[in-house]
Amino acid sequence: MYIQTLGNGPDLLLIHGWAMHGGIFHPLAERLADNHRVHVVDLPGHGRSRVDSAAFELTAIVERLTQALPPAVWIGWSLGGLLAIHA
């Protein structure tokens, strides 16, 4: 799963919605990166991430993000919000 990280400070994770990619958060991520370490993800099958066997399993995606990143505040749009609720 592709994850871009910007800035330093408390960790934030920005998660896009269905049929989108992390690039939609680029302007916001740049502003937040002034005071935070911002992680912007491309979910499986979106943007720079490949489709894999966990592409449509919410719990598997949450587990992969939790393992790949430090504890963070999860901020999501649409599908990303659903993942944040499951985190």
The answer to whether the CB of 2 falls within 8 A of the CB of 40 is no
User: What are the tokens at 42?
Assistant: 């491309």
Closest CA to 11 of 41, 26, 32: 32
State the total domains in the chain.
1
**Range of the structural domain that residue 48 is part of:** 2-86
What is the chain's mean pLDDT, rounded? 95
What is the predicted pLDDT for the residue at 56? 74
pLDDT in tens, 28-68: 999 999 999 999 999 999 999 998 765 678 999 999 999 99
Q: Which CATH number covers residue 29?
A: 3.40.50.1820
